[in-house]
Amino acid sequence: MRASAPVASAASLAGHVAVVSGGARGIGAAIALALAGDGAAVAVLDALDAGETVVAAAALGARSRGWMVDVGDEAACLDAAAAAEAALGPISILVCAAGVMPRGAVDSGLAQWRAVLRVNLDGARHLVAACYPGMEARGDGRILLVSSVAARQGGLLAGAEYSASKGALLAFGRHVARNGAARNVRCNILSPGVIETAMNADLPKPDPAVLPARRLGAPGDVAGPALFLCSDQASYITGVDLPVNGGQLFYP
């Protein structure tokens, strides 16, 4: 038995630079602040003004900058990643939490299909395209894609395009995981259940009594698991989909 200290509790993300999309509010903001609290410098990308998150991250002692970015725009993602690297340093952590969830149906029309895929799926693709080469070259990358329980269960209020975009993130993430492993680029997926955020404030929610946890989730419930997957604590974990859903759906 080794007498050396384990990876253990004080392992931190000091020295790491993280890009978090969708970081202005909700789940993305909670993850950005968890990373900042653990010592990472954080670049916050969002279609909305991310000032609040940047200020909160700075209050935690982290270097942080915000960029207003439409993640569906490839050039904008490449520019933002380059600006983040110039301002904060080489990116070793990427969290793709940007997403939209309009109400819909099995067929919500082609325009809505494309609009949702453009942000939820293309957005993740553009940011991985921007960040992956540097991670691969440096031999250290931690990518986290925020999917949804809807990827496996379907949805009832959001349209099929939402479930399809989140399901595609599972396959995309596994492809990145499989190819990145040899260069120590890990890629995992995190699938929240029903988390109360501004994005779904207008949508009806399930009765918490149907969930084993007997409560809906809060953004903070997702932040801890996200931080874990981006940390050295998860250094032997890649390609997994971690459910954070209060027991709503058991898998894998």
Partner 1 sequence: MAARPRDDLTGKVALVTGAASGIGAATALALAVRGAHVACADIKPAAATLEWLRASGGSGCEITFDLADRGSVARAVEKAAGEARGGACLDILVCAAGIGFKGPLLAADADWDRVVGANLTGTFATLRAAWPHLKAAGQGRAVIVTSMGAYRGGLHFGPEYNASKAGLIGLARHFALHGGPDGIGVNAVAPGFIATPFVAGLPYDADAIPLGRLGEPEDVAEPIAFLCSPAASYVTGAVLHINGGVFFG
Stretch that binds partner 1, among 60-68, 94-102, 126-134, 243-251 (CB under 8 A): 243-251
The reply on whether position 33 binds partner 1 by CB under 8 A is: no
Binding-site string for partner 1 from residue 135 to residue 174, where x marks contact by CB under 8 A and - marks none: ---------------------------------------x
From 178, 198, 205, 206, residue interacting with partner 1 (rule: CB under 8 A): 178
Work out how close the CB of 20 gets to partner 1 at its nearest, in angstroms, rounded to a whole number.
Answer: 17
3-state secondary structure 136-196: HHHCCEEEEEECCCHHHHCCCCECHHHHHHHHHHHHHHHHHHHHHHHHCEEEEEEEECCEC
Work out how close the CB of 31 gets to partner 1 at its nearest, in angstroms, rounded to a whole number.
Answer: 12
Q: Which residues are catalytic?
A: 162
The reply on whether position 230 binds partner 1 by CB under 8 A is: no
From 129, 156, 198, 213, residue interacting with partner 1 (rule: CB under 8 A): 213
Work out how close the CB of 228 gets to partner 1 at its nearest, in angstroms, rounded to a whole number.
Answer: 5
The reply on whether position 207 binds partner 1 by CB under 8 A is: no
The reply on whether position 210 binds partner 1 by CB under 8 A is: no
The reply on whether position 239 binds partner 1 by CB under 8 A is: yes
29/222 with CB nearer partner 1:
222
The residue with tokens 């000091």 is 14
Q: How many CB atoms lie within 10 A of CB 206?
A: 12
Work out how close the CB of 80 gets to partner 1 at its nearest, in angstroms, rounded to a whole number.
Answer: 29
Q: How far apart are CA 226 and CA 220, in angstroms?
A: 10
The rounded radius of gyration (Å) of the Cα atoms in the chain is 17
The reply on whether position 242 binds partner 1 by CB under 8 A is: yes
What are the angstrom distances between the C-alpha of 192 and each of 27, 28, 216, 224? Answer: 9, 12, 11, 12
Q: How far apart are CA 134 and CA 142, in angstroms?
A: 12
Name the percent of the chain in helix, strand, coil, to the closest 5.
45, 15, 40
Contact 21, 46 (CB under 8 A): yes
Strands 64-68 and 93-96: unpaired
The residues binding partner 1 (CB under 8 A) are: 1, 3, 5-10, 12, 34, 37-38, 174, 177-178, 181-182, 184, 186, 193, 211-214, 217, 221-225, 227-228, 232-247, 250-252
